[in-house]
Amino acid sequence: MNLTSMDFPQLALVAFLIESLIQTFKPLYDKDKGWNKDALLALFVGIVLCVATKVDLFVAVGLPISVPYVGATLTGVLASRGSNFVHDIFKFVEGKSDAPDFGTGPVG
């Protein structure tokens, strides 16, 4: 399989999404502290806003998802990480940054 210049941003987006999902969902519940309400609220708001406004980063990089609302929902998960995280993704996708700084952990 040959990777073209359009394949790398798509692959990178999927890799960043997986990282984001793990870093977002992992701290939602702690056995000792219970539910992280700030992280849950950020996740909920990010998903609702992206689905309601049809914001879909996958379409933006030419990787549309065939299941309705999944792209917008996953974009909402990314958005819940915060504006700096999303800004770095957009800079990377646009080719303005060689080494984006994707912070760890959700907002909150």
Phi, psi at residue 33, to the nearest 5°? Answer: -95, -15
Domain edges within the chain: 7-93
Q: Tokens in use for 85?
A: 């995280």
pLDDT, one tens digit per residue, over 14-36 is: 887 788 788 888 889 988 999 99
pLDDT at position 35 is 94
Q: Tokens in use for 53?
A: 């406004």
DSSP structural state of residue 2: -
Instruction: Give pTM, 2 decimals.
Output: 0.69
